[in-house]
Amino acid sequence: MASFDTDPQKVNKVISGVKCYPHSEMEAIISELKIRIAIITVPPDYAKEIAEDAVRFGIKGILNFTTVPLNVPSWVFLEEYDMITSIEKVAYFVKENTI
């Protein structure tokens, strides 16, 4: 496992047991650690670029937590999770079932 960031406050630290590498090392680390699954949790403006990089570097499956719909090659499994809609559903349920 690995995480990647551009924030100097996070890079080269271990966060919840996962080392955070500089984004610039993404290709090398994906190859070295044989990473095949990516979870994308970046600001919307960067989602497409990160997904493209991930696929180019060998990622075969992506879980997209951003609000940006991604287009990936057919050989890459993509699961897009709309967290905002899920939160809205939970909030609705709680509101409707509050005594």
Per-residue pLDDT of the chain (99 residues; tens, 9 = 90+): 999 999 999 999 999 999 999 999 999 999 999 999 999 999 999 999 999 999 999 999 999 999 899 999 999 999 999 888 888 889 999 988 775
Give start and end residues of each alpha helix (H) in 3-99. 26-33, 44-56, 83-96
Same domain, 57 and 87: yes
Same domain, 23 and 66: no
Domain that holds residue 73: 36-99
Are 2 and 18 a contacting pair, CB within 8 Å? yes
Question: Please, what is the end-to-end C-alpha distance for the chain in angstroms?
Answer: 44
What is the structure's pLDDT at 34? Answer: 97
Same domain, 67 and 97: yes
Q: Which two tokens stand for residue 97?
A: 């079932």
Q: Which two tokens stand for residue 12?
A: 């080269």
pTM score: 0.82
Residues 9, 86, 78, 64, Cα dihedral to 10°: -10
